[in-house]
Amino acid sequence: MDTTALRSAYDRLLDAAATPDLGEADDGGWNADQILAHLLSVDASIAAVAMGVVAGSRPTFDNRVSLDRWNLDRIIAEHSGRADLIDHVRSQATVLCDIADQLNAEAATVLVPSLLLSNDALVLDQPIPLSSLIDGLAEDHVPVHTQQLLDLRIAVPGHA
């Protein structure tokens, strides 16, 4: 697989995460640390699915654990602050991309039963190719969370 787009998406996300003055979501949504913890959970899960496919098992992907606030708080507590979370997301994204780079066409087309929720709404409940699961990160998931981080910027008087 070609992970150029995914690596670029993560570069933009990590730049956004390092932006000073990230506040709380106006709508009660996730803060920056929760977004980063969510990404760590999703990336580790998809990397595990990809490794399972390579190993010949029949893995599934279910993103509910990566949405659970208790789990996100647990992941946050395991880090010494935002910079540590950012470093871990960078490292985990590299691992995921390195695994995806090594997938052959046969592995990339393996259908993975997938359950995806977003904002308590069912987004997907069907098998999809492993490549679609990974490409979906670059095409939608990471850019959405990048924008979510950028939306947390606190307006500083005198700055545009």
Q: pTM score, two decimals?
A: 0.94
CA distance linking residue 78 with residue 85, whole number of Å = 9
Please check whether residue 155 lies inside any domain of the structure. no
Number of compact structural domains in the chain: 1
The whole domain housing 19 covers: 4-150
The CATH number given to whatever domain includes residue 65 is: 1.20.120.450
Please check whether residue 74 lies inside any domain of the structure. yes
Please check whether residue 159 lies inside any domain of the structure. no
Beta strands per DSSP E along the chain: 61-62, 111-118, 121-129
160 residues of the chain, pLDDT tens digit each:
999 999 999 999 999 999 988 988 888 899 999 999 999 999 999 999 999 999 999 999 999 999 999 999 999 999 999 999 999 999 999 999 999 999 999 999 999 999 999 988 999 999 999 999 999 999 999 999 999 999 998 854 444 4
